[in-house]
Amino acid sequence: MRLLLKNAHLYRHESFSDTDVLIEDGIIKKIGACNEEADKVIDLHGALLSHNFIDIHTHLREPGFEHKETISTGSASALYGGYGTIVAMANTLPCMDDQETIKDFTKRCEKDAQVKTYTYSAITEELKGQKVVDMEENIKQPIVLGFSDDGKGVQKDEKMEEAMTRAKALDSIIVAHCEDESELHGGCIHEGHYAKEHGLIGINSASEYKQVDRDLQLVDKIHNRYHICHISTKETVALLGASRARGERVSGETSPHHLILTEDNIQDCHPNYKMNPPLRTKEDRESIIKAVNDGAITVIATDHAPHSRDEKNKPIDKAPFGIIGLQHAFPLIYTYIVEEGLIKLETVLDCLTSGPAKTLNLDASIEEGMKADLCAFDLNKEYTIKEEDLKSKACNTPFLGWKVKGELIMNIVDGQLLVEE
């Protein structure tokens, strides 16, 4: 099968070019002007063509919470968001803390995943923070790309130090949900003006940055690979930047919602504005945007966290944390960040492709002779995010009804044309 993509606005090698791409049996054969015969020709009419996106922080909920999401529906959401690779968090039931569970997850993905799907092993058994898992055995599973207790922070210093030391010996990575539980008091949104005005318990910034500070002090001692999940505070940004400046192998991600929203956007105490970490201040958002522009934050990850309608349809202080994000991450960022002149498109694409790839030792290059992993977006097409168009089982997002630009028109995953709109 020969597939010719004509008139692409290709992002490659940190720059754009107007070109054609010839793909034969899933392999990129030629990048450049091409008029060769092909079984199928897709004229992109100048649409953006990029390596498809890599999300290194998603919750597929399977096994154990299939009423929220499944591997099939979650990966479909990714596929229609332009993603070709996702990495699932370990907080399933049973949790990804032993080889048996990880092997079962592998079989489920082979059967149902619509994009390339990996997972993290838990750091501690059942995410309880008491006993570090058999890291040396779990990492042998090809589907495992690192270790994370996401959903919980590892509270005991000695357990995180043990995990970092053992991960370093394996040349693997700790992917950390940083949350100091001694700073938590049952809060549901940021400890700011909105919480005060509405009589809600807040979540302070120290709950995040205190554990980041502890972990980065351990990294200074151990010199291991370390990644900070869902950065939401200016203090975390400063700590990450300083650690990188010291030459440590650390990285960090932020989410689309922390790039776009603050506590000022919360409306009617709606539970779809409840996520962990919470939407914070204008100053925090500005710091995160600057860190992306400066290269301190190198990854945009969705933290796609689906819940059933019944679970989320509760008062904000009772509803679970989390929103979905895979299907519309790029259009939202393009419309409300790139078009607003806050971050260049090139930087956003790097944070969705080469940044996460470098973090987890994946490949996001586009070269002749390589398997095709490509997505295309019409950046001029405007549409409204509607519940009936969601591929996820869930609809817990504050972005329903928002107008966005950037419609997916094609997604080629592992050489296979899976979406053509």
161 has pLDDT over 90: yes
| 266-302 pLDDT per residue, tens | 999 999 999 999 999 999 999 999 999 999 999 999 9
Q: Is the pLDDT of residue 89 over 90?
A: yes
pLDDT tier, 258 (very low <50, low <70, confident <90, very high otherwise): very high
Report pTM.
0.98
Q: CATH 2.30.40.10 residue ranges in the chain?
A: 2-48+370-420
Question: Hey, what are 261's tokens?
Answer: 């929203």
Residue 382, strand partner residues: 405
CA dist 50 and 144 (Å) reads 26
Domain with CATH 3.20.20.140 in the chain: 69-359
- What beta strand segments (E) does 248-369 contain? 250-254, 299-300
Nearest-10 Cα torsion for 21, 27, 30, 31: 50
| pLDDT at residue 271, rounded to an integer | 98
Q: What is the mean pLDDT of residues 373-402?
A: 98
Beta bridge partners of 261: none
Q: Where does the pLDDT of residue 14 fall: very low under 50, low under 70, confident under 90, or very high at 90 and above?
A: very high
pLDDT (mean) for 300-313: 98
Q: How far apart are CA 351 and CA 363, in angstroms?
A: 13
Structure tokens at 23: 């793909």
CATH topology of domain 69-359: TIM Barrel (3.20.20)
The answer as to CATH 1.10.645.10 being correct for domain 2-48+370-420 is no
pLDDT of residue 92: 98
**pLDDT average, residue stretch 251-273:** 98
Tell me: pLDDT of 421 over 90: no
Closest alpha carbon to 216 in 205, 227, 207, 206: 227
Looking at residue 375, what is its pLDDT?
A: 98
The residue from 180, 303, 373, 378 that is catalytic is 303
For residue 162, which of 127, 208, 121, 131 has the smallest C-alpha distance?
131
**What distance, in Å, lies between the first and last C-alpha atoms of the chain?**
19
Catalytic residue check, 303: yes
Rg (CA), the chain: 21
On the CB side of 19, how many CA atoms lie within 13 Å of its CA? Answer: 13
202-203 and 225-228 as β-strands: parallel, antiparallel, unpaired? unpaired
